[in-house]
Structure 1
Amino acid sequence: MTLLLAAAAGALIGLSLGALGGGGSILAVPVLIYLLDQSPAQATTGSLVVVGLTSLIGAAAAHREGNVLLGRGFVFGLVATGGAVLGAAASSRVPEDLLLAAFAALMLLVGVILAWRQIRHGQDSQSSQDSQDSAAGHAARPALDDPIITFSPTFACQCPRALKVLGTATIVGALTGFLGVGGGFLVVPALLLALALPIEYAAGTSLVVITITSAAALAVRSGSGVQPDWTAVIVLTAVSAAAAVAGARLADRVDTGRLQAAFTVLVLGVAIYTATQALPALA
């Protein structure tokens, strides 16, 4: 029964990652802790496997749909690996109660941000979707001809933009390494603002970034001696990956606004429950 609940949660994780380019990964840690009885250290390590493999498969599916810019995603992901390594190293030095409390705080923050976006854009969501659909129908795939730093024929640097990318990527990587989350809720806005990606490519490209940062963090954590229950992790990963493929296909065919709204409610509910479990342990 527990594995069936975990499979259902894995489907939600995969759908969110595939259709929305992020968010679902933040559910992996609570699922591993409260449904599959893992410790916080085990859960944040196992989550990297779930998130990394699901994102990899989702990125491949999104690439087949033409919604991924591999070059920009790969570069952003490489920049983010520094933060991922530092975050993963720091997680092994933090007490588990504090680790879970930090995760609960992050989850509450993400839930509030998602809810604020839903409330702010609720009234004009339909007009925004119509505009995006029209743009997607006529816009050509953006060319990779606007580099931030060039060395030939002369050196040139869009330094403010480069610093924005560096700062955002480092934060994303640190969250991935420390808490075992993919950071898609940060990656998508970063790709929109820092790299000026069109919205129709940001979700798919973010999966490339999440794959790279998750792999880097997992490589560091592999030497810590913390081993999750691999059976549970494999089940969760398999269901999540299959759902990510379906989510990537749905992204071009359905209005994801309702999925985002339902996901916001779910994140807030899980965040509140996680906080009620984590905070008393610190007292």
Structure 2
Amino acid sequence: MTALVLALLAGAVAGLALGALGAGGSILTVPALIFLLGFAPAAATTASLVVVIVSSVAALVAHARTGAVHWRAGLLFAAAGLLPAAAAGALSARIPGTVLTLVFAALAALAALRMLRRREPPEGGPVSGARAVGAGAGLGAVTGFLGVGGGFLAVPALVTVLAVPMGAAVGTSLLVVTANALVALAARAHTAVHLDLTLLLPFLATAVLGAWDGKRLAAKVSPGTLRRVFGAVLLAVAVAMAASAAL
């Protein structure tokens, strides 16, 4: 199978996860870029931010058309993560590739287990400003350091910390993800990382199409089923990444 076909297929799967769940797309993007398309870890995390931004915006538009985005809550949550995202993005360029891969594998395993085991998070009560700032800052740091959107963390945090209804949490998480990824990418602008556009652009194109299809898929398939499918895929990816880095 050629690299171009792999890029098209992997982009579609990542976009589908992002559009359907508001999570999982970027955390599939990084290993796909490394193991299928031959990107170095630093280049993969930077390229992932590009994919996250474009595909998240596409999915966000689809959710916004149905009124499933809480703009004020999302912007407040995102604002808390902007500085941590910038700082972590700059730090990431100084970390050895093997370390980045192992940290990413651990995060992917955590995300997979949350997807496999998670039920609907309880609706939040009174909003704590300190908790909201802390959750937003943590998410921004994860986005900046590993080049992932962090939607698997954002969705439950929006529900339990900012009292966003579950029906709007996926769409709102896409707003948070986009803002953090933009800042993290800007923080990496000075790094000398080569991105292979001949593979990245096809990946990006099918990720956008997948994000649109993911929104429609979410309306037809139960969230629990979607989470279990993507969680199983992600767990296998995490194990493969950890094994590769350890060799």
Task: State the TM-score bracket (shorter-chain normalisation).
Answer: over 0.9
Q: Name the residue aligned to 1:4.
A: 5
- The DSSP-based 3-state class of the residue aligned with 2:210 is helix
Q: Name the residue aligned to 2:37.
A: 36
8 Å Cα contact 1:21/1:207 also seen in 2: yes
Q: Name the residue aligned to 1:195.
A: 162
User: Deviation digits for residues 29-70 of structure 1, max 9, x if unmatched?
Assistant: 001101110000000000000011100111011101221112
Q: Name the residue aligned to 1:170.
A: 137
8 Å Cα contact 2:80/2:134 also seen in 1: no
Specify the code of the residue in structure 2 equivalent to 1:69: H
8 Å Cα contact 2:90/2:188 also seen in 1: yes
8 Å Cα contact 1:62/1:249 also seen in 2: no
- The DSSP-based 3-state class of the residue aligned with 2:222 is coil
- The DSSP-based 3-state class of the residue aligned with 1:224 is coil
Residue 4 (structure 1) shift:
1.2
- Give the distance between the partners of 2:169 and 2:21, measured in 1 at CA: 9
Deviates more, 1:262-271 or 1:6-15: 6-15
Q: Name the residue aligned to 2:232.
A: 265
Residue 78 (structure 1) shift:
1.9
User: What is the identity percentage for the equivalent residue pairs of Structure 1 and Structure 2?
Assistant: 43
> How many residues matched?
242
- In the alignment, is residue 230 of structure 1 matched against residue 231 of structure 2? no
Q: Name the residue aligned to 1:15.
A: 16
8 Å Cα contact 2:27/2:149 also seen in 1: yes
Superposition CA RMSD, Å: 1.7
- Give the distance between the partners of 2:110 and 2:246, measured in 1 at CA: 15
TM-score of the superposition, structure 1-length normalised?
0.82
Q: Name the residue aligned to 2:82.
A: 81
Q: How does 1:266-281 map to 2 (within 5 A)?
A: 266-280=233-247
- In the alignment, is residue 105 of structure 1 matched against residue 99 of structure 2? no
Residue 82 (structure 1) shift:
1.3
Residue 253 (structure 1) shift:
3.7
2:181 corresponds to which of 214, 218, 225: 214
Specify the code of the residue in structure 2 equivalent to 1:91: S
Q: Name the residue aligned to 1:244.
A: 211
- The DSSP-based 3-state class of the residue aligned with 2:94 is coil
TM-score of the superposition, structure 2-length normalised?
0.93
- Give the distance between the partners of 2:204 and 2:76, measured in 1 at CA: 26
Q: Name the residue aligned to 2:58.
A: 57
Q: Name the residue aligned to 2:116.
A: 115
Q: Name the residue aligned to 2:172.
A: 205
- Give the distance between the partners of 2:11 and 2:72, measured in 1 at CA: 29
8 Å Cα contact 1:175/1:183 also seen in 2: yes
Residue 73 (structure 1) shift:
1.2
Q: Which has the larger radius of gyration?
A: 1
